[in-house]
C-alpha cells in the first residue's frame, strides 16, 4: 500500500514497516525457503511502487504474478489480516500490467539485434567456453569492421560460414579462428533455435523506454515477463535477464538522487545468475549494480538464501526482507547465522532463532531510513496483496494484451538488409574459380589479340575471334593453343621464326610492326 509518500509493506502489532520511496532505489534482497511468502512480498512491494507512480519489472516463473492485473478476491485469511491491523485504506484492486514474452506467445514480443545482445551475453546463452567466446568476439569484430550488420541468427550463421571459408586470412588479422570452435558455435545456434529462441533475435528492436510508462491514473505499469517456458532453461533465463539489466543500464541517463525511482527491477531466482559465473563477468555485474542506482533504477534480488548472492553485491543491498530458512545441517545453520548477522540488531529479538521460526507470510525486515541508515530488524507480517493472488486464464491474458498501448507494436518481424544479404551479394560478385583441368572461354587482352591476328595473316588464315580457351591448373590458368605447324610437319615457317626471334629481343609490339612491313 502507498500511504503518505511511503510504501507500507508490513506491520507489527504496534508499528508500521514502511519503505521510504526515496530509498527504494537503494537496492534490496528478498530471501526465504520455498513456500514462505517471497512472491507475496514481491507483489506487495510492486503494487505499492505502482501506486506511487513507479514502473516495475519482474519475471513470472510460475505464472502467479500475472494475477496482479486482476482485482483481488476476499478470503478469510485476508479479511482477518485487514481487521487485525485496522487497514482502513486497504481495497481490492487491479494494477496496470504489460505482459511480455520473448517467445511472443503469452505477451508482447521482446526482440534485440544480435549485435546489440553482444558476444559476451550471447556466449552465455550458447554455453560457450572462454576460447569459443574469443572466436565469437572475432566474428563480432569482423562484422563491425566490414559493416556487416548482425540483426538475426541468419546473419550470424551466414557470417560464420563466410569466416570459415576465409579462416586463414582472418586468423592472421584477428587471431586464431578454428574450425572446431566455429562448429561448436554453429551447433549451439541450432540448439538455441530448436528451443524457439530464434524469435528473440531480430527487428523491430524492443524500446526499453516502453517499460517506463504510467497509466491515465498515474500508476506505474507492472511489466511482467512470462518466464514459465523460459525458466525451463536456467542458463537462458539468467542470460536474458542479465541482457535486460545491462540494456537498462546502458540506455539510462545519470539522474542522481531522485525523490522516487524511475523504475524498480525485481530479479527472481537470482541464484541462477551467479551459478558458475567467472570472475570477469561477475565484476561487470557488480559494476552495474553499483552504478545503476544513480540512473534512478532500483534492483531487488529474490532467492532462497542470502548465500546465493555474492558478497560484493550483498554489500550494495540496503533493504532486506528475510523469510523462514530451514536449519537442519551444519551448512544451513551457518547460513542462518550469517543472515542474522547481516541485520542491524534489535535487542528485543533473537534474530538467529526467529529466522527458523517464521511462519508463512512472516518476515524479518530492515529498510533504510531517509538518512541512508538501516533500521533495526523487526519481526512482522507482510500485508496481503490488493490484486488477485494466482494465475489467470488465457482469455484474461489475451484481453489485457490486446487492450495494451503496445499491442501490435512489435508483432510483425522486419527483415532489413543486413549481413546475410550482403554476404550473398559479395558471393555473387566474386569470380568463380574453375576446378582443376576444366576449360573455359575468356576474352583476350589487346596485346594477345594483336599477336593472334598477326599470326593469322602470316599463315593466310582468317582473323580469329577475340576469345581464347584456358585450362585451369593448380592455381593458374594456361592458354590451350593449337601447335604451330605447316603442311610439311612441325617446322616453323620463316615468318614465324622471325617473329619469335624478334619477340625475344624487343617485344611483341615491335615484332608485329616489323612482320607487317615485310608483307606490304
The residue to which cell 510460475 is assigned: 62
d(CA 339, CA 351): 9
d(CA 189, CA 14): 58
Q: Is 13 within the bounds of a domain? A: yes
pLDDT of residue 221 exceeding 90:
yes
Contact 380, 362 (CB under 8 A): yes
User: Do 101 and 149 reside in the same domain of the chain?
Assistant: no
Q: Is 83 within the bounds of a domain? A: yes
Please identify, among 198, 221, 239, the residue that sits at the C-terminal boundary of a domain: 198
Of all residues in the chain, the percent with pLDDT exceeding 90 is 57
Per-residue confidence (pLDDT) for residue 432, from 0 to 100: 62
User: Do 76 and 127 reside in the same domain of the chain?
Assistant: no
Residue 91, by phi and psi: left (phi above 0), alpha (psi -120 to 50) or beta?
beta
In order, the DSSP letters of 166-181 are THHHHHHHHS---HHH
Q: Which domain holds residue 84?
A: 2-110+206-402
Grid cell in block for residue 205: 528492436
pLDDT bucket at 456, cuts 50 / 70 / 90: confident
Q: Is 421 within the bounds of a domain? A: no
Please identify, among 137, 164, 198, the residue that sits at the C-terminal boundary of a domain: 198
Highest mean pLDDT among 59-73, 74-88, 409-423: 59-73
User: Do 132 and 100 reside in the same domain of the chain?
Assistant: no
Per-residue confidence (pLDDT) for residue 282, from 0 to 100: 86
User: Do 368 and 381 reside in the same domain of the chain?
Assistant: yes
User: Do 106 and 126 reside in the same domain of the chain?
Assistant: no
Per-residue confidence (pLDDT) for residue 203, from 0 to 100: 93
User: Do 131 and 186 reside in the same domain of the chain?
Assistant: yes
Looking up residue 340, the CATH number of its domain turns out to be: 3.40.50.300
Q: Is 429 within the bounds of a domain? A: no
Higher pLDDT, 475 or 273: 273
d(CA 92, CA 74): 8
User: Do 279 and 357 reside in the same domain of the chain?
Assistant: yes
Per-residue confidence (pLDDT) for residue 438, from 0 to 100: 64
User: Do 193 and 335 reside in the same domain of the chain?
Assistant: no
Q: Is 424 within the bounds of a domain? A: no
| DSSP 3-state of 307 | helix
Of all residues in the chain, the percent with pLDDT exceeding 70 is 88
Tell me the sheet residues that pair with 214: 220
User: Do 381 and 272 reside in the same domain of the chain?
Assistant: yes
pLDDT bucket at 435, cuts 50 / 70 / 90: low
Per-residue confidence (pLDDT) for residue 502, from 0 to 100: 42
Grid cell in block for residue 261: 525511482
Please identify, among 198, 225, 245, the residue that sits at the C-terminal boundary of a domain: 198
Domain count, the chain: 3
Residue 114, by phi and psi: left (phi above 0), alpha (psi -120 to 50) or beta?
alpha
Q: Is 473 within the bounds of a domain? A: yes
d(CA 298, CA 100): 20
Strand 15-20 and strand 319-322: pairing?
unpaired
d(CA 156, CA 190): 12
Q: Which is nearest to 28 in space by CA: 258, 315, 361, 286?
A: 315
The residue to which cell 574453375 is assigned: 434
E strands, 268-311, in order: 297-303
User: Do 283 and 359 reside in the same domain of the chain?
Assistant: yes
- Model pLDDT for residues 249-274, shown as the tens digit of each residue: 999 999 888 889 999 999 999 988 88
Which has the minimum average pLDDT: 67-76, 337-346, 360-369, 457-466? 457-466
Per-residue confidence (pLDDT) for residue 154, from 0 to 100: 94
Q: Is 51 within the bounds of a domain? A: yes
pLDDT of residue 510 exceeding 70:
no
pLDDT of residue 94 exceeding 50:
yes
User: Do 448 and 394 reside in the same domain of the chain?
Assistant: no
Q: Beta-carbon neighbour count of residue 199 at 10 Å? A: 18
Q: Is 416 within the bounds of a domain? A: no
CA distances in angstroms from 395 to 73, 288, 364, 401, listed in the order given = 19, 38, 38, 10
User: Do 189 and 266 reside in the same domain of the chain?
Assistant: no
Amino acid at each position: 500500500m502507498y500511504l503518505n509518500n511511503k510504501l507500507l509493506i508490513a506491520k507489527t502489532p504496534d508499528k508500521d514497516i514502511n519503505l521510504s520511496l526515496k530509498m527504494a532505489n537503494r537496492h534490496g534482497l528478498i530471501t526465504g525457503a520455498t513456500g514462505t511468502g517471497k512472491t507475496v512480498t514481491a507483489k506487495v512491494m510492486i503494487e505499492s511502487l505502482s501506486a506511487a507512480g513507479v514502473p516495475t519489472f519482474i519475471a513470472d516463473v510460475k505464472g502467479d504474478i500475472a494475477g496482479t492485473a486482476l482485482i483481488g478476491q476476499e478470503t478469510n485469511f485476508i479479511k482477518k489480516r485487514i481487521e487485525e491491523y485496522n487497514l482502513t485504506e486497504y481495497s481490492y484492486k487491479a494494477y496496470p500490467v504489460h505482459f511480455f514474452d520473448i517467445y511472443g506467445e503469452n505477451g508482447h514480443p521482446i526482440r534485440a539485434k544480435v549485435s546489440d545482445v553482444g558476444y559476451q551475453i550471447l556466449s552465455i546463452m550458447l554455453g560457450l567456453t572462454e576460447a569459443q567466446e574469443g572466436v565469437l568476439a572475432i566474428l563480432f569484430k569482423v562484422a563491425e569492421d566490414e559493416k556487416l550488420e548482425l540483426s538475426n541468427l541468419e546473419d550470424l550463421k551466414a557470417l560464420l560460414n563466410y569466416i570459415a571459408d576465409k579462416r586463414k586470412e582472418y586468423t592472421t588479422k584477428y587471431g586464431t579462428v578454428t574450425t572446431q570452435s566455429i562448429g561448436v558455435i554453429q551447433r549451439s545456434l541450432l540448439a538455441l533455435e530448436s528451443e524457439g529462441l530464434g524469435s528473440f533475435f531480430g527487428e523491430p528492436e524492443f524500446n526499453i523506454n516502453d517499460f517506463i510508462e504510467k497509466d491515465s491514473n498515474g500508476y506505474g505499469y507492472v511489466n511482467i515477463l512470462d518466464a514459465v517456458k523460459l525458466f525451463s532453461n536456467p542458463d537462458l533465463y539468467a542470460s536474458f535477464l542479465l541482457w535486460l539489466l545491462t540494456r537498462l543500464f546502458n540506455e539510462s541517463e545519470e539522474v542522481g538522487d531522485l525523490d522516487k525511482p524511475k523504475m524498480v527491477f525485481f530479479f527472481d531466482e537470482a541464484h541462477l545468475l551467479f551459478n558458475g559465473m567467472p570472475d570477469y563477468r561477475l565484476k561487470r555485474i557488480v559494476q552495474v549494480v553499483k552504478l545503476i542506482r544513480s540512473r534512478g533504477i532500483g534492483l531487488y534480488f529474490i532467492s532462497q538464501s542470502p548465500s546465493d548472492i555474492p558478497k560484493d553485491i550483498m554489500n550494495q543491498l540496503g533493504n532486506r526482507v528475510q523469510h523462514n530458512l530451514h536449519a537442519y545441517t551444519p551448512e544451513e545453520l551457518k547460513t542462518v547465522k550469517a543472515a542474522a548477522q547481516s541485520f542491524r540488531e534489535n535487542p528485543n529479538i533473537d534474530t538467529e532463532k526467529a529466522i527458523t521460526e517464521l511462519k508463512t507470510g512472516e518476515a524479518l525486515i530492515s529498510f533504510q531510513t531517509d538518512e541512508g541508515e538501516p533500521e533495526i530488524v523487526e519481526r512482522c507480517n507482510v500485508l496481503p496483496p490488493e490484486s488477485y493472488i494466482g494465475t489467470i486464464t488465457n482469455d484474461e491474458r489475451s484481453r489485457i494484451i490486446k487492450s495494451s498501448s503496445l499491442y501490435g507494436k512489435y508483432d510483425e518481424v522486419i527483415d532489413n538488409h543486413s549481413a546475410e544479404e550482403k554476404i550473398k551479394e559479395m558471393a555473387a560478385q566474386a569470380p568463380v574459380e574453375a576446378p582443376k583441368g576444366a576449360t573455359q572461354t575468356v576474352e583476350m587482352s589487346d596485346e594477345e589479340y594483336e599477336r593472334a591476328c598477326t599470326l593469322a595473316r602470316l599463315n593466310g588464315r582468317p582473323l580469329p575471334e577475340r576469345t581464347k580457351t584456358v585450362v585451369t591448373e593448380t592455381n593458374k590458368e594456361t592458354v590451350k593453343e593449337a601447335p604451330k605447324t605447316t603442311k610439311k610437319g612441325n617446322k616453323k615457317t620463316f615468318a614465324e621464326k622471325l617473329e619469335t626471334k624478334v619477340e625475344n629481343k624487343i617485344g611483341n609490339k615491335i615484332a608485329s610492326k616489323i612482320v607487317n612491313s615485310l608483307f606490304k
